[in-house]
Chain A
Amino acid sequence: DTGVSQDPRHKITKRGQNVTFRCDPISEHNRLYWYRQTLGQGPEFLTYFQNEAQLEKSRLLSDRFSAERPKGSFSTLEIQRTEQGDSAMYLCASSLEGNMGAFFGQGTRLTVV
C-alpha cells in the first residue's frame, strides 16, 4: 500500500451533470476525510468518516453533495447537478483514530464548464 489513492485525477463535466469521485485510504486507517481546495487557498474540510460512520459534515457540503463509505474502506463523493462554483480540487485524506496527522491523496481536479 503506497498511500491514499484517488480516482479520477481529473474530471471535466458540463454544468448540471452528476459526478462521482473515489478514494481508497491507507489500508489500516479507519478515519477518512474529504477536503476541497480552490486555487490559492488551503484545503477546506467537507466531511469525515470513522469506519463506515459519517461523523461530521461541513456547512460547505450542500444537499447536492453526498459521501459514503459503505464498508469502512473506500469512499465515494458524489456531486449532483454540478455548478461552476464546484470547480476545485477534491482531496481525500486518511488517518488512524487518535492521530490527527492525516495523509492526503493526489486529489481529483474537477472543472465544471
Chain B
Amino acid sequence: GENVEQHPSTLSVQEGDSAVIKCTYSDSASNYFPWYKQELGKGPQLIIDIRSNVGEKKDQRIAVTLNKTAKHFSLHITETQPEDSAVYFCAAPRARAQKLVFGQGTRLTINP
C-alpha cells in the first residue's frame, strides 16, 4: 500500500523567510497530492493540492511542486507570517482506493 514520508518533523523560520516541507510517496499510481494545515484543537484544513498532470501549482504565498519521477512533492510558503504557525500534513491516495494516507506532520513555527 501507499507509504508517505514527511520531513522535517519540526521547522522554525524567521518571519518573512520561506519554509519548505517535503514528502515522498511509494505508489507510482498515486495521482493526487493535497496539503493540510492543522491548528491546535482544530481539524485539518485543505490549503492546496496538485494533480499528477502538473508539476507546480501556486496560490498566493503557497505553492506545491511535484516530481513524479522521484516520487516526491513539496510545500513552499513564502513571506511567512505568524499565522502560518501550525502543523502541516501531506497526503497521497492509496492506489485504487478512496482514502488518503497522511504523512507524520511538520510543526512549523514562525518566529517574529
- Kindly report which residue of chain A lies nearest to residue B51, judged by CB atoms: A100
- Docked complex Cα distance between A4 and B43 (Å): 10
- Which one, A6, A31, A58, contacts B98 given CB within 8 A? A31
In the complex, chain B residues whose CB is within 8 Å of the CB of A85: none
**Interface residues, chain A, with chain B CB atoms under 8 Å away:** 4, 6, 31, 33, 40-45, 48, 50, 55-56, 58, 91, 93, 100-107
A-B pair number, CB within 8 angstroms: 59
> Of the 9-residue stretches B14-22, B54-62, B67-75, B99-107, which lies at the interface with chain A?
B99-107
- Docked complex Cα distance between A41 and B100 (Å): 14
B interface, how many residues as a size bin? 20 to 34
**Interface residues, chain B, with chain A CB atoms under 8 Å away:** 6, 32, 34, 36, 41-46, 49, 89, 91, 93, 97-105
